[in-house]
A and B are shown apart, each in its own frame.
Chain A
Amino acid sequence: MPTERDILITGIGLVSCLGEGVDAHWKALNGAAFAPTLDTETFLSLAVHPIVKLELDRQIPKRGDQRTMEPWQRIGTYAAGLALDSAGIKGNAELLDRTDMIVAAGGGERDYAVDAAILSALPGAADPDVKLNEMLTSDLRPTLFLAQLSNLLAGNISVVHGVVGASRTFMGEEAAGVEAVRIACARIADGTSDLLLVGGSFNAERPDILLHYEMGRVLWKQPYAPIAERLGAGGGMLLGSVGCFLVLESRAHAAQRGAAPVARIAGIQSDRCNRAPGAATANAQRQFEALAANLNLQETAIISGASGVGVEEPIFLQGLNLPIRSPANALGHSLEPSFPANLALAAMAVSRGKLFAPLEAAEAVTDIKLKNALVTAWGHWRGEGMALITAT
């Protein structure tokens, strides 16, 4: 039964190695033979899924804005612009003035040349600590800080696109993406917001990011293998650059302005645990039971947030006996925006009434009439979440 406070997705902006926009992703995911888009050259033995080349002028018209940002912000600001375009609210100052925003973000790029110069100079310096102070003072670009602060993706979206209702940024890898969407949905459901931009951005093509995850021993360093195979061989993530924003809107507000909804977020759940054996599975099981209680499972698929690490997740998902797609096979794993991006892909599939093609041998071909998608998030370290996407 439709209600005025139903949460509808009325805009999607998605960029990844597969291209720009929902249609490009649909096409790429249904191509004759899926082949991963990987950069295996730039970062030693660490492969990443690189962002497609973006014509920045189309979403970030001022060159000054482009220059002020680092890549993670450009990717995110670009994706946000696509989402606003797709919702038909780009440039609508009256609506944007009360469009709220929740961004899931990490931090920004460093000046790698400056870091390298400092690290190289310190061992021979008479007073390395003072040398560090001096070099940072003389070599850091003053505006780089603004490209590094977590909340400055949101800040740039406010400046470039004029989204100036509420602005909140959540940090914390995959879970931040889940919570951003959960809070956005809660605010629409309780009537404190009618129109929200929610999503995030991740640039995988960064040596500092790769250093971080390599220190955690969580990267896949062998030749490309799909997620199921990786999980069977000790696991490992292949990171991918992704920007994704969704425009969420109450049904009443969407109807009133004549917006065409793509899909509906019918429910969302999240939790944490310390990953003691069975704990994450118990969270996921509870979430599944809460969301799938009244579903016709014959019309339902799983869009999995599988990252490539973790042993319980594949067992849990296989146990559900539903068709599964793990988009990280194609986009790479993108931490903060991975859940919003998977919601976008689920919305895309549900709105077309069919699931996209398998991305690896472990994913079965299916011709079900797709009406629902359960989107899972299973943080590579912490955080479990799940959402139900249905037709509008």
Chain B
Amino acid sequence: MSRSDLDARGRPVVVVTGMGVLTSLGQGQFDNWRELTAGTSGIRRITRFPVGGLKTTVAGTVDFVAVEEVSAPALSEKIAHRVIEEAIAQSAIGTVGNFPGPLFLALPPVELEWPQRRAIAAATGKNESITYDDLLRVATAVDFSPYYRRFLFGSVAENLAETFGTKGSPIAISTACASGATAIQQGVEAIRRGETAVALCAGTDASVNPESLIRFSLLSALSTRNDPPSSAARPFSKDRNGFVMAEGGGALVLESQAHARARGAKILGVLEGCGEKSDGFHRTRSSPDGKPIIGCMRNALADAGVTPEGVDYINAHGTGTPENDKMEWLGVSTLFGERAERIPISSNKSMIGHTLTAAGAIEAIFSLLAIQNGRLPPTINYDTPDPALPLDCVPNVTRDVQVTRVISNSFGFGGQNVCLVLAAPG
């Protein structure tokens, strides 16, 4: 291992050699980047289920991936499958069904859903006064074993581990809206520890279903600006009123730089640092002093061995909820000082919506594509600047500018904060 394959702390430099992405804008890096830099919105009216009686009727659904029986884990698994295929193909690592490293997978919490619950209830033969005792009885009498398998918390990651031949026990991660970034962090740590030279890190989410939508809606977290759907996600705008649920996936092949060089792999970017800091203030709200968010960004920069001056672009968490954008600005303005109003910070979520547990992985990929292409995707729907957030959100139009280092933020319910520092190949 040459000296430059180690970072300043003597740890293996971790690089990205393969990426795969799928969102409501389409499948693959090429299509996604084209649409993202064209300022296209993937938000649409929900057609998967009737929206009568709902306050929010739009989402960034992935409607072009077919599954036999729709459920969040079924569609999440299919999406993950596709993005992992793309990432492994680009990385050209391993052989089919034999990926030479572990799998870290971010995915939404798994639970029996209403179509399945209704199917079990229907099997009871009752039309009224149906209780869980009835469901338990019919589960004994009728074979619903495919539901058992589908709704195990471990089965999505297990199925992918089996298909792609990843090594060791896969880790399925749930750190709310930071999950995708946590999956990447786990991979970085495993490579730095020398446990593996290669890791597959992915995030996937397909939870646009009535109950998930209603749950977020009841917490007043969702945008209710349904017309036109493309206007619903408006991060940093004064008239923002919530995030837009969305689906998608992102996968990255991480590799020690030494390993990548030795096999002549094309290096797409460097995963320089990861930071996390949890927040015990409240289950859904950030500590008003912003300390955990600031600490998280600082931890990521310290892990990368760089200062705020070394960062050229911020890939915002930027959900478009009044609370998030305010707190993210507090963090950014504290950390970057007077430079905060000039450093570009844009939100992919203005176009693809909030892909929840997949967001950290998808946005890490878009961050690297920004570095690779010298283009910053815009924050669309930025019609009414919020004077409280005097930032440069790359309003509405893609900007051509070379950047070499990006910090990508992910913040989630439960006080979850994770930030990644990504940089151009060294």
- A116 and B284 CA atoms in complex are apart in Å by 28
Using Cβ atoms and an 8 Å threshold, which residues of chain A touch B118?
Answer: 119, 122, 128
Asked if B283 contacts A68 (CB within 8 A), the reply is yes
Is A307 an interface residue when CB atoms closer than 8 A count as contact? no
Instruction: Among A172, A178, A212, point to the contact of B151 (Cβ < 8 A).
Output: A212
Is A56 an interface residue when CB atoms closer than 8 A count as contact? no
Chain B: CB-nearest residue to A173: B154
Known: A112-B132, A151-B175, A167-B416. A211 touches B139 (CB 8 A): yes
Asked if A119 contacts B50 (CB within 8 A), the reply is no
Asked if A166 contacts B276 (CB within 8 A), the reply is yes
Asked if A190 contacts B169 (CB within 8 A), the reply is no
Using Cβ atoms and an 8 Å threshold, which residues of chain A touch B210?
Answer: 129, 132-133, 136
Asked if A151 contacts B148 (CB within 8 A), the reply is no
Asked if A158 contacts B189 (CB within 8 A), the reply is no
Shortest A147–chain B CB gap in Å is 10
How does the 8 Å CB contact mask read for B14-35 relative to A, with 1 for contact and 0 for none? 0000000000000000000000
Within 8 A of B (CB), among A168-219: 168-173, 175-176, 178-179, 183, 186-187, 190, 192, 207-208, 210-218
Known: A129-B49, A151-B412. A270 touches B139 (CB 8 A): no
Known: A156-B283, A159-B283, A272-B170. A207 touches B136 (CB 8 A): yes
Asked if A151 contacts B211 (CB within 8 A), the reply is no
Within 8 A of B (CB), among A39-59: 43-44, 46
Shortest B193–chain A CB gap in Å is 5
Is A106 an interface residue when CB atoms closer than 8 A count as contact? yes
- A124 and B127 CA atoms in complex are apart in Å by 7
Is A314 an interface residue when CB atoms closer than 8 A count as contact? no
- A130 and B54 CA atoms in complex are apart in Å by 9
Within 8 A of A (CB), among B104-150: 107, 109-112, 114, 117-118, 120-122, 127-133, 135-137, 139-140, 144-145, 147-149
Shortest A39–chain B CB gap in Å is 14
Asked if A171 contacts B154 (CB within 8 A), the reply is yes
Is B171 an interface residue when CB atoms closer than 8 A count as contact? yes
How does the 8 Å CB contact mask read for A380-391 relative to B, with 1 for contact and 0 for none? 011111000000
Instruction: Among A129, A150, A167, A221, point to the contact of B278 (Cβ < 8 A).
Output: A167
Stretch at the interface among A137-145, A342-350, A356-364: A137-145
Asked if A168 contacts B173 (CB within 8 A), the reply is yes
Asked if A107 contacts B109 (CB within 8 A), the reply is yes
Chain B: CB-nearest residue to A99: B278
- A55 and B310 CA atoms in complex are apart in Å by 52
Asked if B111 contacts A207 (CB within 8 A), the reply is no
Known: A116-B131, A164-B277. A171 touches B153 (CB 8 A): yes
Residue picked from A176, A214, A215, A272, most chain B C-beta under 10 Å: A215
- A272 and B276 CA atoms in complex are apart in Å by 28
Using Cβ atoms and an 8 Å threshold, which residues of chain A touch B54?
Answer: 133, 137
Is B217 an interface residue when CB atoms closer than 8 A count as contact? yes
Known: A164-B278, A383-B154. A216 touches B109 (CB 8 A): no
Asked if A383 contacts B174 (CB within 8 A), the reply is no
Is A127 an interface residue when CB atoms closer than 8 A count as contact? yes
How does the 8 Å CB contact mask read for A249-274 relative to B, with 1 for contact and 0 for none? 00000000000000000000011101
Chain A: CB-nearest residue to B111: A107
Is B168 an interface residue when CB atoms closer than 8 A count as contact? yes
Is B392 an interface residue when CB atoms closer than 8 A count as contact? no
Shortest B407–chain A CB gap in Å is 18
Using Cβ atoms and an 8 Å threshold, which residues of chain A touch B387?
Answer: none
- A233 and B199 CA atoms in complex are apart in Å by 42
Instruction: Among A124, A137, A155, point to the contact of B283 (Cβ < 8 A).
Output: A155
Q: Number of A interface residues, CB 8 Å?
A: 84
Asked if B173 contacts A170 (CB within 8 A), the reply is yes
- A212 and B146 CA atoms in complex are apart in Å by 10
Instruction: Among A133, A148, A162, A165, point to the contact of B50 (Cβ < 8 A).
Output: A133
Is A146 an interface residue when CB atoms closer than 8 A count as contact? yes
Residue picked from B121, B174, B195, most chain A C-beta under 10 Å: B174
Shortest A103–chain B CB gap in Å is 9
Is A247 an interface residue when CB atoms closer than 8 A count as contact? no
How does the 8 Å CB contact mask read for B397-426 relative to A, with 1 for contact and 0 for none? 000000000000000111110000000000
Using Cβ atoms and an 8 Å threshold, which residues of chain A touch B114?
Answer: 132
Using Cβ atoms and an 8 Å threshold, which residues of chain B touch A242?
Answer: none
- A307 and B276 CA atoms in complex are apart in Å by 35
Is B218 an interface residue when CB atoms closer than 8 A count as contact? yes
Asked if A148 contacts B218 (CB within 8 A), the reply is no
Is B214 an interface residue when CB atoms closer than 8 A count as contact? yes
Using Cβ atoms and an 8 Å threshold, which residues of chain A touch B283?
Answer: 68, 146, 152, 155-156, 159
Asked if B161 contacts A272 (CB within 8 A), the reply is yes
Shortest B178–chain A CB gap in Å is 9
Shortest A342–chain B CB gap in Å is 17
Is B53 an interface residue when CB atoms closer than 8 A count as contact? yes
Using Cβ atoms and an 8 Å threshold, which residues of chain A touch B139?
Answer: 211, 214-215
Instruction: Among B151, B169, B215, B279, point to the contact of A164 (Cβ < 8 A).
Output: B279
Asked if B109 contacts A215 (CB within 8 A), the reply is no
Instruction: Among A124, A144, A274, point to the contact of B128 (Cβ < 8 A).
Output: A124
Shortest A83–chain B CB gap in Å is 17
Asked if B186 contacts A183 (CB within 8 A), the reply is yes
How does the 8 Å CB contact mask read for B67-107 relative to A, with 1 for contact and 0 for none? 00000000000000000000000000000000000000001
Residue picked from B55, B139, B182, most chain A C-beta under 10 Å: B139
Chain A: CB-nearest residue to B116: A215
Using Cβ atoms and an 8 Å threshold, which residues of chain B touch A274?
Answer: 162
Please give the residue numbers on chain B whose beta carbons come within 8 Å of chain A beta carbons, in ascending order. 49-55, 107, 109-112, 114, 117-118, 120-122, 127-133, 135-137, 139-140, 144-145, 147-149, 151-155, 157-158, 161-162, 168-176, 182, 186, 189, 192-193, 195, 210-211, 214-219, 276-284, 292, 412-416
A sample of 15 inter-chain contacts (CB < 8 A) reads A112-B132, A116-B130, A119-B117, A119-B118, A130-B50, A137-B214, A150-B174, A154-B414, A155-B283, A169-B174, A171-B110, A172-B170, A215-B145, A270-B169, A384-B169
Instruction: Taking A171-B173, A382-B154 as given, write out 18 further A-B residue pairs in contact, using a Cβ cutoff of 8 Å, ordered by the A residue number.
Output: A124-B127, A128-B118, A129-B50, A145-B215, A145-B218, A146-B413, A151-B174, A166-B276, A167-B416, A172-B170, A173-B154, A175-B169, A179-B169, A207-B136, A211-B120, A214-B139, A272-B158, A272-B168
